[in-house]
Structure 1
Amino acid sequence: MSNKNKDMGVLSQNENLIKLYVHPDNRMAKQSIAVAEASKAIKKVVNLSEVKLTETQWGDLADLLNLDSPQDLINFDHDIIKEKFDHKKPEIYDNEAMKLLTHNQEILKHGIAVRGKKAVFITNVNDIMKLQEPDTNDITIP
């Protein structure tokens, strides 16, 4: 393993930190980072092209997102998935989904923003605002 693919430790859960898990190939990555920078919260970007998450961390992210299965993290339209499987949405077990994500992090369906024990998929820039502290001007969009 190269220095570029450092393993992450256990997922931290800090209320003052917005952590973005994004792959630079994702169209929303740059916009998500800009919105997070507008927040009063501390921002940390986990670039999934440089940092390798573990299967346990993928499972933790799926749990934080309240997903039924880690499969729900996967973009089944990604070329890597299409090359590996014949079906549009193959039936795979949860542990297989986490292995796929660990070795092919670019197949992540959407970026993920985490703040404390809350997590959201980043499908548009306003999704990060769901992590805003209630009744504060925590995130301002210019």
Structure 2
Amino acid sequence: MFKKNFMGTMGTIATNKRQIILYYHSETTLGKQAYAYLQASNKKILAVDISKTKITGMQWLEISENLNTILSKLVNQEHPDYRKNYTTGISLDKNDWIKVLQNHPETLRCPILANGKVFSLIESPSEISKLLESEEKHKDF
């Protein structure tokens, strides 16, 4: 696990309470659905299509830290492109996992939603509505 203060105060991802950031791959079904779902909301979104925009190593580290997970958990290790390019059972370090995500963005396990300082893995489009509803409920208090 990464230390909570790994990025210190110099985070590379600018988060904003009024804007949702979606990291997704536009050629995956789940990525397309998540993007469409967010577009239908009245939220201001910044959609980062990782098939067209390269995410830096520092940004991947920051994303994994904010998700409170390790980089390998962001990769679908069952994806054909991962299996074709990487030997099952070998040990990869964090730099290797960053290269996997940068060189084979299609292996991203699922879209990632950054809503302010709250980062979430989106494994189904319905999770987006739950996250947005939860935010609306918190505004009422």
Q: Is the 8 A contact 2:31 2:110 kept in 1?
A: no
Which structure: greater strand fraction? 1
- What amino acid does structure 2 have at the position aligned with 1:101? L
TM-score by length of 1: 0.79
How many angstroms apart in 2 are the aligned matches of 1:130 and 1:18? 14
Per-residue deviation, 1:40: 2.9
Q: Tell me if the contact between 1:17 and 1:115 (Cα under 8 Å) persists in the aligned partners.
A: yes
Instruction: Select which of 40, 56, 61 maps to 2:63.
Output: 61
Amino acid at match of 1:81: Y
User: Please, what is the CA RMSD of the aligned residues?
Assistant: 2.0
Residue 37 of structure 1 corresponds to which residue in structure 2? 39
- SS of structure 1 residue aligned to 2:121: strand
Code of the aligned partner of 1:92: L
Determine if the alignment matches structure 1 residue 10 to structure 2 residue 12.
Answer: yes
Q: Which segment is superposed worse, 95-104 or 44-53? A: 95-104
Instruction: Report if aligned partners of 1:120, 1:127 keep a CA contact under 8 Å in 2.
Output: no
Q: CA deviation at 1:44?
A: 1.5
Report the secondary structure of 1:52's partner residue: coil
SS at match of 2:21: strand
Residue in 1 that maps onto 2:75 = 74
AA of the residue aligned to 1:99: K
**Alignment gaps of 5+ in structure 2:** 1-10
The structure-2 alpha-carbon separation of the partners of 1:63 and 1:130, relative to structure 1 and needing over 3 Å to count, comes to farther
Query: Residues 23 and 113 of structure 2 are in contact (CA less than 8 Å); yes or no, is this contact kept in structure 1?
Result: yes
8 Å CA contact retained: 1:70, 1:97: yes
Which has more helix, going by share of residues? 2
**TM-score of the superposition, structure 2-length normalised?**
0.80
Contact 2:82–2:104 under 8 Å retained in 1: no
Deviations 1:60-111 (A, max 9, x none): 11111111x1111111012222122231x54211121012212221111111
Distance 1:107 1:21, change over 3 A: same
Aligned residues: 127
Match of 1:122 in 2: 122
> SS state of the match for residue 29, structure 2?
coil
